[in-house]
Amino acid sequence: MGTFRQSLDEARRKLAAANEEKEAVEKRIADLESVVKGLASLCDSEVREASQSAKPLASEDSFSNAIGFALQTAKGDLTPVEVRDKMQVLGYDFEKYETDPLASIHTVLKRMAKKGIVKPRRWPHNRTTYTWTGERQQAEKAGDDAASTNDSRK
């Protein structure tokens, strides 16, 4: 019976080691996906054209609008770091902020998610990406259109 117990203990140790290796590989994959996505956005012709022409966010005062614009013009979902990087490429001036803009971006994205404006997606290792849905603005616009139609009927 002792040899079975030893074999079981050894198998459990190997399983634990394999799980640790698996977690390390998953983290490495997530990190590489982030790097690839960031480099791809830098190579994206749309972003290049926007950075070469007038910077669309250069005169934007609203932090939330700038975040929304960065997400709207993205070809997929973005992490908060990628949102910040895209805002910089699009000309948003972070120098006027004394605090860390990334903390503010996280806060705004969470608020937008609660309102249904963006859709969060959780990844392993506490990574979250966000996709623009704009559903709330579309609903508000539809409500404004309905209100103006009702006003014109009076």
pLDDT of 113-132, one tens digit each?
Answer: 999 999 999 988 888 999 99
Q: What angle do CA 130, 142, 144 make, to 5 degrees?
A: 115
Residue 75's pLDDT band (boundaries 50, 70, 90)?
A: confident
Residue 54 CA to residue 83 CA, distance in Å, equals 19
Closest to 108 (Cα-Cα) out of 72, 64, 152: 64
Question: Could you tell me the pLDDT band of residue 137, with boundaries at 50, 70 and 90?
Answer: low
CB 80 within 8 A of CB 125: no
Alpha carbon distance 32, 24 (integer Å): 12
- Distance from C-alpha of 33 to C-alpha of 56, rounded to nearest angstrom: 27
Domain 2-153 has CATH 1.10.10.10: yes
Q: Where are the domains of the chain?
A: 2-153
